[in-house]
Amino acid sequence: MRLPVTPTTTLWRELRDRVRRRYRAGRVVVAIDGLDGAGKTVFADGLAEVFAETGDAVFRASIDGFHRPRAERYVRGRQSPEGFYRDSYDYATFRRVLIDPFRDGAQTAGTTGFQLAAFDVGRDAPVESQWVTAPRDALLVVDGIFLHRHELRDLWDASVWLEVPFETAYARMALRDGSDPDPDAPSNARYRQGQEIYLREARPRGAASVIVDNSDLGRPRIVGRG
């Protein structure tokens, strides 16, 4: 089924075509990064759909399926911005059960299995292992925060940074989660300051293949290219 033509789907198709001009075949991994509330999940879902329009085998994953257990996430304290940035995700497992086997499948005729999620943060427990396989030519779209950390950058064939002001992002999260819409509210300090550590250390805008202004969800626009 083809998505209707809108400013958003037009941009998704432009990004799809950009990736396909560079990678005609094989296994391709695309990352969608941005602040909490930037619109990453919807953007990644839509990008996956327009890849599927052209017959690509497309798989979706989120870094949120690879959280660490609560005890590890809060080892620096429940309010620690440093802990939010450094301890939220299990990147070793992410690579071991998803990225590495997904890549390996290009050489093994699609017989290598991979997992699209490993941990349920709500239950604070691992998920039951569900191994999937893909054809030799396949695309994986991953969304999540902190995806341009230095130790992750080599995982992506292409990446997008969704540019959204903190004020817009927190207003969206307030509607979605019932949180305080003020980015400077004490209840948001762990997350706001953790994101600021990321922006200072990783400089994701400079690392991304493409920067998209996603402030207006109905009219995203490319504002920079890495």
pLDDT single digits (tens) 51-70: 999 999 999 999 999 999 99
Under 8 Å between Cβ of 49 and 3: yes
Measured CA to CA, the distance from residue 201 to residue 195 in angstroms comes to 10
Under 8 Å between Cβ of 69 and 196: no
Average pLDDT, the chain: 95
> Is residue 34 pLDDT above 90, yes or no?
yes
196-223 mean pLDDT: 97
169-182 mean pLDDT: 94
91-118 mean pLDDT: 90
pLDDT at 199: 98
Give the total residue count for the chain: 226
Beta bridge partners of 163: 213
> Is residue 109 pLDDT above 70, yes or no?
no
Q: Which residues contact 55 (CB under 8 A, 6 or more apart)?
A: none
pLDDT at 111: 73
Place of tokens 């990064």: 33
Under 8 Å between Cβ of 35 and 169: yes
Under 8 Å between Cβ of 31 and 202: no
**pTM for this model (two decimals):** 0.95
% of the chain residues with pLDDT over 90: 94
Measured CA to CA, the distance from residue 71 to residue 63 in angstroms comes to 18
pLDDT at 225: 82
What are 118-156's pLDDT values in tens digits? 999 999 999 998 999 999 999 999 999 999 999 999 999
Under 8 Å between Cβ of 6 and 218: yes
Q: Are strands 138-143 and 27-34 parallel, antiparallel or unpaired?
A: parallel
> Is residue 50 pLDDT above 60, yes or no?
yes
**CA 117 to the chain's CA centroid:** 13
